[in-house]
């Protein structure tokens, strides 16, 4: 009985996100749809400037690597980081090899999605971040992999680390409940 009630509650909560139409003119084979605990975020992947990173994100999405993964690092006025489907805390990576850095002239502005890295060359793997405000100081240091085309209001609602937190670590963080390549959604 409890399982049935839990299933019904999950379906009721998921229904609004499932019913949402995708943005017009979305390149569905190169977009990911992230249903979070706060709502839906749609990211158009930038295959024109970061084709290897975009392919890695689509591969991991299709493998289910990103499902139920927390936004482990969220800093108000800066960014929200997620994508650690191994350790769930920002220390993990996938079993796939790291793509090479794909730096571009695209500036890190509100809604831009970048690949997280260790700071070493070619060290980005599975984790990515969504920029809340101007972060042009990241330009040329991180690969831009996408752009939020719908749901920045959702990203803004993600639970943030306390002000002044150096690490940006979030206690009881919001999650990416389900991540799909847009063209795979039936």
pLDDT (tens digit, 9 = 90+) per residue, 77-94? 999 999 999 999 999 999
pTM: 0.89
pLDDT over 80 (residue 95)? yes
Q: Where do the structural domains in the chain lie, given as residue ranges?
A: 2-184
Asked if residue 171 lies in contact with residue 65, where contact means CB atoms within 8 angstroms, the answer is: no
pLDDT over 50 (residue 163)? yes
| Confidence (pLDDT) at 19 | 58
| Confidence (pLDDT) at 14 | 46
**Which comes out higher in pLDDT, residue 3 or 153?**
153
At 13, is the pLDDT very low, low, confident or very high (cuts 50, 70, 90)? very low
Specify the CATH class of 2-184 in words: mainly beta
| Confidence (pLDDT) at 8 | 45
């Amino acid at each position: 009985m409890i399982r049935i009630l839990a299933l019904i509650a999950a379906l009721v909560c998921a229904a609004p996100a499932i019913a949402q139409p995708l943005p017009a003119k979305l390149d569905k084979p190169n977009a990911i749809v992230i249903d979070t605990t706060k709502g839906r975020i749609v990211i158009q992947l930038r295959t024109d400037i970061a084709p290897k990173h975009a392919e890695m994100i689509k591969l991991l999405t299709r493998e289910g690597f990103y499902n139920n993964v927390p936004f482990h690092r969220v800093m108000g006025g800066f960014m929200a980081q997620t994508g650690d489907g191994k350790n769930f805390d920002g220390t993990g990576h996938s079993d796939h090899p790291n793509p090479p850095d794909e730096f571009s002239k695209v500036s890190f502005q509100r809604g831009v999605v970048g690949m997280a890295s260790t700071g070493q060359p070619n060290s980005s793997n599975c984790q990515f971040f969504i920029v809340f405000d101007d972060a042009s100081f990241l330009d040329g240091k991180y690969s831009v992999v996408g752009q939020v085309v719908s749901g920045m209001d959702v990203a803004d609602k993600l639970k943030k680390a306390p002000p002044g937190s150096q690490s940006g670590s979030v206690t009881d963080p919001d999650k990416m409940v389900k991540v799909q390549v847009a063209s795979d959604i039936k």
